[in-house]
Amino acid sequence: MKVAVVGATGLVGTKMLQVLAERNFPVTELVPVASERSVGKEVEFKGKKYKIVSMADGIAAKPAVALFSAGGGTSTEWAPQFAAAGITVVDNSSAWRMDPSKPLIVPEINADILTTNDKIIANPNCSTIQMVVALQPLHKAYKIKRVVVSTYQSVTGTGVKAVDQLMGERNNASEYPMAYKYPIDLNVIPQIDVFTDNGYTKEEMKMVNETKKIMRDDNIKVTATTVRIPVMGGHSESVNVEFENEFELAEVRNLLESAPGVVVVDDLPNQQYPMPKDAHEKDEVFVGRIRRDETQPKTLNMWIVSDNLRKGAATNAVQVAEYLVANNLI
């Protein structure tokens, strides 16, 4: 199968190439696509070098599927043109996520809604994906009323420039780019993306809105505070969940242990809990610190960590493509 990766030189695009190779996605020919300034450069895939081509040449190559991670503006302009040429797009930007005519997919949860008519499929925001993978089995069992989440997000979610800022600051480099308004090393920035009229950031509202769409339940209330921290391996989340129905902690643990894509790391005597440095380069969502919120009934606290470039972006997109292949949808 001919596969295009659009935005092939970015952090997520590079990870998409790595994940496609690792998971042995049936790529017969790779079409790496990037902005004009990268056209002609080469990327390596499974030991072979491929020349980066322009958007127009990417469409002309007629891949069966195109994995996009090139930003919202590029997706808004180009995803419909790929789709019009019969190419199925899995898009990692926020451009199509809340469009009611476009599916927003986490394969463990709602890939069953996909049909051959879906030519633009949205990949959710990284911090949403890891949270819903852990919430879904608990929602099925106890019905979620309300979620209060605070995030601790890796600089890799911003991109190469933010990694360069963090390392530049840490190494006292004479010059480095500023991805953020403030220093990030030895700091914590309680702002991810721009502010909206209600005082929340776009990242926070993504968690609110995308959760309802993916879990197909508009009654789930979510309130979020999203925070950037000087870390690279993955995003962490402190999640407080109130249910309609009573739960047993042992059963919660069992449900999470048997949930697809979830690994429970929760061994207090041995001080075992999920951390970004352990989640780095793993595809699963790690859950620990599972305990009752003792201040009110039917309420749980947990800690969720995942590699945001993998399950939060590239791996999820490749899993969507795998689902499309396995179900003859492309």
Burial annotation 148-182 (CB, 10 A radius, 16+ → b, else e) = bbebbbbbbbbeeebbbbbebbeeeeeebeebbee
Alpha helices in 111-159 (DSSP H): 126-142
Of 13-72, binders to ligand 2RA (CB under 6 A) are none
Rounded to whole angstroms, how far apart are CA atoms 292 and 251?
13
Q: Give the E-state strand segments of 24-160 in sequence order.
A: 29-33, 42-45, 48-51, 65-68, 88-91, 120-122, 144-152
Q: Is 211 an interacting residue with respect to ligand 2RA (CB under 6 A)?
A: no
Q: Annotated binding residue at 138?
A: no
Which amino acids are annotated catalytic?
126, 235
If you write DSSP's letter for every residue of 49-62 in order, what string do you get? Answer: EEE-B-HHHHHHT-
Q: Is 228 annotated as a binding residue?
A: yes
Binding track over 264-303 against ligand 2RA, x by CB under 6 A? ----------------------------------------
**With the C-alpha atoms ordered 41, 43, 44, 49, is the resulting torsion angle positive or negative?**
negative
By beta-carbon proximity to ligand 2RA, the closer residue of 69 and 136 is 69
Q: Which residue has the tokens 């300034």?
A: 37
Q: Report how far Cα 265 is from the mean position of its chain's Cα atoms.
A: 21
Compare residues 201 and 255 and give the one whose CB is closer to ligand 2RA: 201
Contact flag: residue 232 with ligand 2RA (CB under 6 A): no
Specify the residue, 125 or 136, whose C-beta has the smaller distance to ligand 2RA: 125
Position among 111, 114, 122, 126 found at the interface with ligand 2RA (CB under 6 A): 126
72 membership: H or E segment, kind and range: helix 72-84
12 annotated binding-site participant: yes
299 marked ligand binding residue: no
**Between 66 and 192, CB nearer to ligand 2RA:** 192
Q: Which range touches ligand 2RA (CB under 6 A), out of 13-21, 125-133, 136-144, 276-284?
A: 125-133
The one among 69, 74, 75, 127 contacting ligand 2RA by CB under 6 A: 127
List the one residue out of 53, 39, 75 whose CA is nearest residue 2: 53
CB under 6 A: which stretch of 150-158, 251-259, 273-281, 284-292 binds ligand 2RA? 150-158
Residue 280 CB, nearest approach to ligand 2RA (Å): 15
Q: Is 9 annotated as a binding residue?
A: yes
Q: Which of 9, 88, 125, 315 binds ligand 2RA (CB under 6 A)?
A: 125
**Least Å distance between CB 307 and ligand 2RA?**
12
CA distances from 224 to 40, 194, 201, 213, 240 (A): 42, 14, 9, 16, 10
Question: Which of 107, 157, 230, 288 is close enough to bind ligand 2RA by CB under 6 A?
Answer: 157
Among 75, 158, 211, 316, binds ligand 2RA (CB under 6 A): 158
Residue 219: other Cβ atoms inside 10 A? 11
- The answer to the question of residue 192 lying near ligand 2RA (CB under 6 A) is yes
Q: Which residues face 65 on adjacent strands?
A: 3, 88
Q: Which phi and psi angles does 306 have, rounded to 5°?
A: -155, 155
Question: Would you say 76 is a known binding-site residue?
Answer: no
* 291 among annotated binding-site residues: no
**Residue numbers at the binding site for ligand 2RA (CB under 6 A):** 125-127, 153, 157-158, 192, 203, 308
